[in-house]
């Protein structure tokens, strides 16, 4: 399986992916799920992929040469000449559909779903940074200020920390820390996600990034994150009052009357027969 997260902030973008792939308990391997497309001082784009490995690998290869016709008088559209991230994402969607046309029928005949989901984001000179989620059909949606991050793969374990911490004004370093905690929570709860990790931080308007790291089990910062996060969770949990069933003078009683409903119960007497 996979866990990838892409975050769009006022200051830049953060991308993170794991590298575990598996086709059963005894078929586990490592494969990078982050691909960077860069032309200095012109464009910087990052693709994160999840789902069927053969599908996502084919899409990644085709994307570099995929062309969309724009009429007889215009040069075909590619990710390298697109003037907006929206158009570049259209090319990605076309690449997904092209792989489906080639491999979809054969996969279906073999009982295998055409399964691919991707996060695609970056910046092209002349426009603001943008972040997209691309689905198996090649259609896509764009991140907004209300929804500033996307996840693909095993998203449920790492989502709570992202929901509670991230806003568009979050600092990049803080967002990177949040992504690492999110990944650690996923690693803790799901064996199908695994190290090493790829983490990239892009600062708005730079069209390049030197903040790219591959994180393995020996990385000192990630080891600190793993131990500290677990310890602090225990401390916070221990600091929350236990439930008080008797009410009394408790500041936060658990058993209080509710105007909405009362519990339903069936009470039998000794002379009642239970059928």
Residue 167 clears pLDDT 70, i.e. is over it: yes
Domain extent for 210: 3-235
268 in a domain, yes or no?
no
Residue 247 has a pLDDT of 67
**pTM of the full structure:** 0.92
Q: How far is the C-alpha of 64 from the C-alpha of 128, rounded, in Å?
A: 22
Average pLDDT of the residues in 237-242 = 94
* Biggest alpha carbon–alpha carbon distance for the chain: 92
Question: 110-128, pLDDT tens digit by residue?
Answer: 999 999 999 999 999 999 9
Question: 20-62, pLDDT tens digit by residue?
Answer: 887 555 667 889 999 999 999 999 999 999 999 999 999 999 9
247 in a domain, yes or no?
no
241 in a domain, yes or no?
no
148 in a domain, yes or no?
yes
Given the DSSP bridges, would you call strands 149-153 and 34-39 parallel, antiparallel or unpaired? unpaired
Please count the structural domains in the chain. Answer: 1
187 in a domain, yes or no?
yes
Closest CA to 25 of 56, 1, 49: 1
Phi and psi at 210, nearest 5°, equal: -105, 5
Question: 189-217, pLDDT tens digit by residue?
Answer: 998 899 999 999 999 999 999 999 999 99
Q: How far is the C-alpha of 195 from the C-alpha of 134, rounded, in Å?
A: 24
**CB atoms near residue 185 (< 10 Å):** 21
195 in a domain, yes or no?
yes
Q: How far is the C-alpha of 42 from the C-alpha of 80, rounded, in Å?
A: 9
Helix (H) or strand (E) holding 124: strand 116-124
Which CATH number fits the domain that encloses residue 124?
3.60.20.10
Residue 266 clears pLDDT 80, i.e. is over it: no
266 in a domain, yes or no?
no
Closest CA to 169 of 12, 6, 4: 12
Are the beta carbons of 3 and 17 closer than 8 angstroms? yes
Phi and psi at 95, nearest 5°, equal: -65, -40
Are the beta carbons of 2 and 18 closer than 8 angstroms? yes
What does the block give as tokens for 85? 């991230």
Confidence of residue 138 (pLDDT cuts 50, 70, 90): very high
Q: How far is the C-alpha of 203 from the C-alpha of 210, rounded, in Å?
A: 10
67 in a domain, yes or no?
yes
Mean pLDDT across the chain: 92
91-95, 100-104, 270-274: segment of lowest average pLDDT: 270-274
């Amino acid at each position: 399986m996979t866990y990838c997260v892409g975050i769009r902030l006022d200051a830049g973008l953060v991308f993170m992916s794991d590298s575990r792939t598996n086709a059963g308990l005894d078929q586990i391997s490592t494969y990078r799920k982050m691909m960077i497309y860069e032309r200095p001082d012109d464009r910087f784009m990052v693709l994160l992929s999840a789902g069927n490995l053969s599908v996502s690998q084919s899409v990644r290869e085709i994307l570099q040469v995929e062309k969309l016709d724009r009429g007889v008088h215009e040069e075909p559209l590619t990710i390298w000449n697109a003037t907006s991230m929206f158009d570049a994402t259209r090319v990605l969607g076309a690449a997904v559909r092209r792989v489906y046309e080639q491999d979809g029928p054969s996969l279906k005949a073999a009982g295998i779903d055409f399964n691919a989901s991707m996060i695609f984001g970056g910046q092209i000179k002349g426009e603001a940074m943008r972040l997209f989620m691309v689905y198996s059909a090649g259609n896509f949606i764009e991140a907004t200020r209300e929804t500033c991050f996307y996840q693909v793969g095993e998203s449920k374990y790492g989502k709570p920390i992202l929901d509670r911490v991230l806003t568009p004004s979050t600092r990049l370093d803080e967002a990177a820390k949040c992504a690492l905690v999110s990944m650690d929570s996923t690693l803790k709860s799901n064996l199908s996600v695994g190290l090493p990790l790829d983490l990239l931080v892009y600062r708005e308007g730079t069209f390049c990034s030197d903040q790219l790291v591959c994180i393995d089990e020996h990385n000192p910062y990630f080891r600190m994150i793993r131990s500290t996060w677990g310890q602090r969770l225990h401390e916070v949990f221990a600091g929350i009052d236990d439930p008080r069933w008797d009410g009394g003078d408790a500041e936060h009683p658990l058993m209080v009357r509710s105007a909405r409903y009362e519990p339903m119960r069936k009470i039998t007497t000794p002379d009642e027969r239970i059928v």
